[in-house]
Amino acid sequence: MANVLVAGVGMHPTGRFSDKSYRDLATVAAVAAVEDAGLSWDHIGVLFASHTRQGISAGQQVAHDLGLAGIPVVNVENACASGTTAIHEAATWIEAGRVDVALVVGFEKMPKGVISGLGEPGSYEDRMGLNVMPALYGLMAQKHMHRYGTTVQQMALVSVKNHQNGVLNPYAQYRKAVTLEEVLQSRMVADPLTLLQCCPTSDGAAAVVLVNGSTVLPNPLRAVRWAGSAVGTMRFDSDESEVSHRTALAAYEAASIGPEDIELVECHDAFTIGEILHYEELGLCPEGEGGRFIEEGHTWLNGKVPVNPSGGLQSRGHPLGMTGVAQVYEAVVQMRGEAGDRQLAHWPKTAVTHTQGYAGVAAVGVLQR
Amino acid sequence: MSAILEDLRKGHAIPVVPNVFAMGVDGSLRLAGSECQKCQWRTFPRVKRCLRCHSGNIGDVLLIPQGIVDSFTVVRQGPLEWTGLVPYVLVRVLLEDGVQVVSHLRECLTEDIRIGMSVRGELAVLFEEEGRSVVGPVFVPA
Ligand SMILES: [Zn+2]
């Protein structure tokens, strides 16, 4: 099977851009990624477009704006895991020898407020008011607190850490540090999660260029290997934690790594309890120890496994279709030593990206240099 | 609950979703779930095929809405259509036969909610719609 490399990455800042369309955002990110790879546009064999609510054939609209006429365009929707899924699928095209170069662009423009329109209109969950993302995480948080003694302070530390990281990221939506008190005293959204423990809804775009390992690149040393990935859904007897754990193990196996190899993680901190759970699911710490893991400092920029140096969903923002792609952007610039003020002292050799979303979907990618 | 049943009979109230609850022979509330006829896996709300063994041979089963709170939260900012109805308490309940049900918890102060507490199902008015009460199964402390 062909080796897949990430040859180029690009982003549009995340935030609110009422004067720009999703096509404008996606175009900026895609042009930046292709220029970063140093490849000519006629090398691109396929465009994967990750988005959840931009309408029919949004990827074809973006391809048109990029001047990419005539190539196959695949639109990918997998809730919050759309971006990771799109890269996973694009890598499959290269591994299968279908194309040598794939452009993946993730983008989204989102309405303000709690995400609505989840699930089937008129279903039990819809009519009963159960499809509330903060509430689903609120249930997870109460359970974790009850079972393992995780504290609201430990959860709030996730927000403090990620906002602090976001201050250093020019692409982040919120470049403002917050204190533990501010996080805990912000208004309650779904107990015990306060507003500053919930990611914002945002506009943004990110892009990556994947290539077959035999492709001649102008800067081969800047390429990072897409070592393995997996996409999963929940089983009849499982929950969100089980699917993330199982999907991570599948990705690690595909990449021939173990959790002890991981030196950087970008994970799905849509809500602070999520990041604590993901420490456990991704194997960074034993089950039940996630709260103590952040409290002991292991996941901060100078810790043994920095998590969400980009600022994560909490601070960088969470345009749904963008997130999984933006995570790879962060991993790649950190692995290249190009992350500027937030550059990790030790340039990671192995990084993991993880997203999970509505209806029990999870996706995990492994990058290596 | 008898007033709600009366309103349902007269058409002054409607069920939140068709076929989601029923009254047992003894007149008490039941949840309309599914049971796989091949592997006996039970679930709520109803499914078209079995998620455990893939069988399409699914039967209806009336579940007794009694169990313990597995987790809970208070929704203080809901989806658009629930804007005027917050805050409301959601609970995930483990029924005595192992089925998980998520619904509202009523008649319990937030500070009194405990994981592990016993609850039972009851019919309640969830909201008003086009001049009629919309009724669904909720939990209350047992
Ligand atoms: Zn079955």
How many angstroms separate the Cα of A63 from the Cα of each of A23, A111, A146, A203?
9, 24, 49, 19
pLDDT of residue B1: 72
The domains found in chain A, sorted by start residue, are 4-112+202-223 (3.40.47.10), 126-200+229-368 (3.40.47.10)
Q: How far apart are CA A31 and CA A77, in angstroms?
A: 22
Judge: A127–B45 Cβ closer than 8 Å, yes or no: no
CB B101 within 8 A of CB B83: no
pLDDT of residue B84: 86
3-state secondary structure chain A: CCCEEEEEEEEEEEECCCCCCHHHHHHHHHHHHHHHHCCCHHHCCEEEEECCCCCCCHHHHHHHHHCCCCCCEEEECECECHHHHHHHHHHHHHHCCCCCEEEEEEEECCCCCCCCCCCCCCCHHHHCCCCCHHHHHHHHHHHHHHHHCCCHHHHHHHHHHHHHHHHCCCCCCCCCCCCHHHHHHCCEEECCEEHHHECCCCEEEEEEEEEECCCCCCCHHHCEEEEEEEEEECCCCCCHHHHHHHHHHHHHHHHCCCHHHCCEEECCCCEHHHHHHHHHHCCCCCCCCHHHHHHCCCCCCCCCCCECCCCHHHHCCCCCCCHHHHHHHHHHHHHHCCCHHHCCCCCCCEEEEEEEECCCEEEEEEEEC
pLDDT of residue A237: 87
Q: How far apart are CA A356 and CA A251, in angstroms?
A: 14
Q: What is the mean pLDDT of residues A71-82?
A: 97
pLDDT of residue B27: 85
pLDDT of residue B82: 82
> What is the distance in A from the centroid of ligand 1 to the CA of B42?
8
Clarify whether A318 is annotated catalytic: yes
State the ipTM, two decimals: 0.96
Asked if B132 reaches chain A (Cβ–Cβ under 8 Å), the answer is no
Asked if B72 reaches chain A (Cβ–Cβ under 8 Å), the answer is yes
Tell whether the model's pLDDT for residue A91 goes beyond 90: yes
Tell whether the model's pLDDT for residue A117 goes beyond 80: no
To the question of pTM greater than 0.95 for the whole model, the response is yes
* pLDDT tier, A176 (very low <50, low <70, confident <90, very high otherwise): very high
CB A354 within 8 A of CB A266: yes
From A342's Cα to the closest Cα of chain B, the distance in A is 34
Tell whether the model's pLDDT for residue B22 goes beyond 80: yes
Tell whether the model's pLDDT for residue B127 goes beyond 90: yes
Least confident of A93-97, A356-360, B62-66, B75-79: B75-79
Tell whether the model's pLDDT for residue B79 goes beyond 80: no
In sequence order, the 6+-apart residues with CB closer than 8 A to the CB of A213 are A2, A3, A4, A5, A225
Q: What is the mean pLDDT of chain A?
A: 96
Of A114, A115, A142, the CB nearest to B115: A142
Asked if B70 reaches chain A (Cβ–Cβ under 8 Å), the answer is yes
Tell whether the model's pLDDT for residue A113 goes beyond 80: no
- Which residue out of A191, A235, A271 would a mutagenesis test of the B interface target, given it has the greatest number of B Cβ atoms within 10 Å? A191
Helical pair A272-281 and A152-167, crossing angle rounded to 10 deg:
100
Given A80, A198, A199, A267, the catalytic residue: A80
Judge: B77–A237 Cβ closer than 8 Å, yes or no: no
Tell whether the model's pLDDT for residue A116 goes beyond 80: no
* pLDDT tier, B24 (very low <50, low <70, confident <90, very high otherwise): confident
A9 vs B84: which has the higher pLDDT: A9
Tell whether the model's pLDDT for residue A312 goes beyond 80: yes
Residues of A in contact with B79 (CB under 8 A): 114-116, 129, 131-132
pLDDT of residue B126: 95
